[in-house]
Amino acid sequence: MIQVLDAFRTPLDYARLTREELRDRILRRKEELNAVILGHNYQRVEIQEVSDFLGDSLGLSQEAARTDADVIVFCGVHFMAETAKILSPDKTVLMPDLRAGCPMADFVTGDSLRRLKARYPDAVVVAYVNSTAEVKAESDICCTSANAVQVVDSIPADRTILFVPDRNLARYTAEKSGRPYVVAGQEQGEVGPGSIVAWDGYCYVHDDLVLEELAEARRKHPRALVVIHPEARADLLAEADFVTSTSKMVDIAEEHDELIIGTERGLIDRLKQRFPEKTLIPLSGAAICGNMKMNTLAKLAWSLDHGAHEVVLDEDVRERAERSLRRMLDLSGGWRAPTAEEEALEEAGLRPGGCGCA
């Protein structure tokens, strides 16, 4: 039980403090609580500056599980804090703003997935890690955007797969795996053996990237290669030189001098910091996840002082969600210590953990 400090009652009270006052308060309170602060790659710079670890949701949750901290504060979106709790059941997990949810994860609920499973009782369920704990618990195995093809290829070719919640990643994975693809609710007649039946969800940040923006970026930078995240639409992916997860985007940025990059701006801004001599152009200036930016220093300070908002999971749900995550980790080699190169990237805030925002 965290002892509440209530000198300031609401996040608004904290917002009146200077950035330095907030930083000092956060760092002092973090020591008192034996807490670690996890900052996702897409968080505001001032949040990243006080974070103990930077990266994607799975990598951060794994890092936090290996520490002896009593408290984890996850500065990201809700499913990410849930993932930290799944992997660290004995630690208290807090998030500064409960409203910081992921619209893509929210497309599918445990109930709606159970209804789809009832229509396909023999199907294998693959859940992208950008999903709620309840959805992970209803799934057979998780995947990231970096290992989705590997996960799907591990499933017998004649088994139908329900892929949730991202239809774009599902379509891309089906194409790479040579499986038929259909969106749930749009089936026409019998679904063939081995098909991927995709949930009709998407990430608005990536789904909103459009061909016109790409054409404009290409007109200004005709020599640039194009790299796009597989959460984008198929017509855009067809135009890309590379379709890849954010981890591989870091590798590609190392190898090429001029790139148009289709993913969230936060990642591109960090790539620019790391490679200031290169021309790295966001495919769209509007590709910003507002949900990720809901966390502020004031809310983080309030969260630490008030022990809020605690993420609590039903133990049965947590265990089943962990089983799906562990299956994926076993398949993809499980957790391993970072290489020297990965540590260097981590220092630059670019830990190559795995995928999109997760």
Residues that bind ligand SF4 (CB under 6 A): 77, 102-104, 130, 203-205, 264, 289, 291-292, 356-357
Chain residue whose CB lies nearest ligand SF4: 357
Which CB, 33 or 268, lies closer to ligand SF4? 268
Which CB, 123 or 355, lies closer to ligand SF4? 355
Q: How far is the CB of 22 from ligand SF4 (least distance, A)?
A: 24
Q: How far is the CB of 257 from ligand SF4 (least distance, A)?
A: 27
Residue 201 in contact with residue 167, Cβ under 8 Å?
Answer: yes
Residue 225 in contact with residue 259, Cβ under 8 Å?
Answer: yes
CA separation for the pair 54, 348 (Å, rounded): 9
Residue of 239, 218, 347, 225 whose CA lies nearest to 278: 225
Which CB, 208 or 239, lies closer to ligand SF4? 208
Contact partners, residue 76, CB within 8 Å, separation at least 6: 38, 39, 40, 42, 43, 57, 60, 95, 100, 292, 295, 357
Which CB, 95 or 357, lies closer to ligand SF4? 357
CA separation for the pair 281, 109 (Å, rounded): 36
Q: How far is the CB of 268 from ligand SF4 (least distance, A)?
A: 13
Residue 120 in contact with residue 96, Cβ under 8 Å?
Answer: no
Q: How far is the CB of 105 from ligand SF4 (least distance, A)?
A: 6
Q: How far is the CB of 206 from ligand SF4 (least distance, A)?
A: 6
Which CB, 157 or 286, lies closer to ligand SF4? 286
Q: How far is the CB of 33 from ligand SF4 (least distance, A)?
A: 26
Q: How far is the CB of 46 from ligand SF4 (least distance, A)?
A: 19
Which CB, 125 or 357, lies closer to ligand SF4? 357
DSSP string, 170-192: HHHHHHHHT--EEETT---SPPP
H/E/C letters for each residue in 21-86? HHHHHHHHHHHHHCEEEEEECCCCHHHHHCCCEEECHHHHHHHHHHCCCCEEEEECCHHHHHHHHH
Which CB, 25 or 78, lies closer to ligand SF4? 78
Residue 77 in contact with residue 291, Cβ under 8 Å?
Answer: yes
Q: How far is the CB of 185 from ligand SF4 (least distance, A)?
A: 21
Which CB, 317 or 357, lies closer to ligand SF4? 357
What's the burial of 54, exposed, middle or buried (CB within 10 Å: 0-12/13-18/19+)? buried
